[in-house]
A and B are shown apart, each in its own frame.
Chain A
């Protein structure tokens, strides 16, 4: 007989309990323990229940799960709450950190330019929001947002210049390797930022126009110009 068969047979050994004896013995036991004794309060107090709950909850696995849940929920809530935050609000710092994290985790320069454009547009929305909510908005707040806008625009311009310069470096290599293919296709190096080839001067110019419109407080037009740059990048 194998061990498995033995275990199966052992599990099947069920000594059937005589239910009439169980019932009768229950009555005898009840009589014995209740006879002449006072009634005991059988309800559990608040602290008893609390102790039971804490005993169940304070296990390693539920604690780890709760911690993980806390981080996921707080992260989710934080991102949601920071989306419409403006300078001076508690969640604004989360918003800036989130933007920096997005830029840090993006490795394609063209994608980074797109992010800069997106964040610059976000600054315009923030400016519109603070001005519509409070007519006497402080200069400090406006200046902070304007500085953020210009910073994003400058970063976008720098990146476009970088893409242009890498394109120029890679072009001679292409011509030497494959003289027949004189249009469109460039080296592997530049293919990483292939869309960058379409940016060049028009994009730089549009960005400068957007900055000019922003300085003139024509925010809507500035946003439209940024959209144009976005289209050029696509």
Chain B
């Protein structure tokens, strides 16, 4: 069962965030780890497609997040979840860059905006060993659509949460959700047609 982080007034996300923001509370960060580890891992895994890499990147995401908090950078944030997702997205991009260039690239700037022009999803698709048709088609989606699909339908985040993570308006996110679904539906439809043609032959 997924952890949604919805708890009482003195428990859960908001309290954890306040403890981190006010006191840089280490224990609170460990609690945040317990709360978000599965969904961050799932997000990374469906983006990367490899269990080992997903584990490494997820570990890195939490450590980078702690460093970010420890340096007192939480002032401009009001929740932890979008921050973790932003760090995860940037860490994944850095991971692809490092693989592509065969050299170590600095991953310091976690707030650096994602450059959508970099066509990294082609590279990503070569790593996947998914068995399910949808899982196979996910890497073929445009990067932005893939994020939307994972966040909305696999990790079941709300539209406003996704909007915060992607730095878009809720309206934009709704449009993207619709387009991403359509795009995936087309890809899955093509696969179905190919399979039926093969059966006829």
Contacts and interface: CB of A to CB of B under 8 A. Distances in A.
Interface string A160-190: 0000000000000000000000000000000
A25 B9 contact: no
Interface in A21-77: 21-22, 25-26, 28-30, 32-34, 37, 39-42, 44-45, 48-49, 51-53, 55-56
Contacts of B59: 25, 28-29
Contact of B37 (A3, A15, A22, A39): A22
A40 to B, nearest CB: 5
B26 A9 contact: no
Nearest to A53: B9
- With most chain B CB atoms within 10 A of its CB, the pick from A22, A28, A39 is A22
A36 to B, nearest CB: 12
Interface residues of A, number: 36
Nearest to A39: B26
B156 interface: yes
Given A26-B30, A49-B10, A42 B25 contact: yes
Contacts of B68: none
A97 interface: no
B34 interface: yes
B89 interface: no
Nearest to B16: A42
Contact of B135 (A13, A37, A39): A13
A22 B27 CA distance: 16
Given A6-B181, A42-B27, A52-B15, A25 B42 contact: no
B16 to A, nearest CB: 10
Contacts of A18: 51, 55
B28 interface: yes
Contacts, number: 102
Contacts of A101: none
Contacts of A104: none
Interface in B52-71: 54-55, 58-59, 62-63, 66, 70
Contacts of A21: 55
B25 A52 contact: no
A3 B27 contact: no
A1 B30 CA distance: 42
B33 A26 contact: yes
B55 A1 contact: no
A1 B63 contact: no
B18 A52 contact: yes
Given A10-B134, A17-B42, A1 B192 contact: yes
B134 A9 contact: yes
Interface in A202-228: none
26 contacts: A1-B188, A9-B132, A9-B134, A11-B153, A11-B154, A11-B156, A13-B135, A13-B154, A15-B45, A17-B38, A21-B55, A25-B37, A25-B59, A29-B62, A33-B26, A33-B29, A33-B30, A33-B66, A39-B26, A40-B24, A42-B28, A45-B22, A52-B14, A52-B15, A52-B18, A53-B9
Closest 8 CB pairs of A and B: A10-B153, A42-B25, A15-B45, A40-B23, A40-B25, A17-B41, A15-B42, A33-B26
Interface of A: 1, 3, 6-7, 9-11, 13-15, 17-18, 21-22, 25-26, 28-30, 32-34, 37, 39-42, 44-45, 48-49, 51-53, 55-56
Interface of B: 9-10, 14-15, 18-19, 22-30, 33-34, 37-38, 41-42, 45-46, 51, 54-55, 58-59, 62-63, 66, 70, 132, 134-135, 149, 153-154, 156, 181, 184-185, 188-189, 192
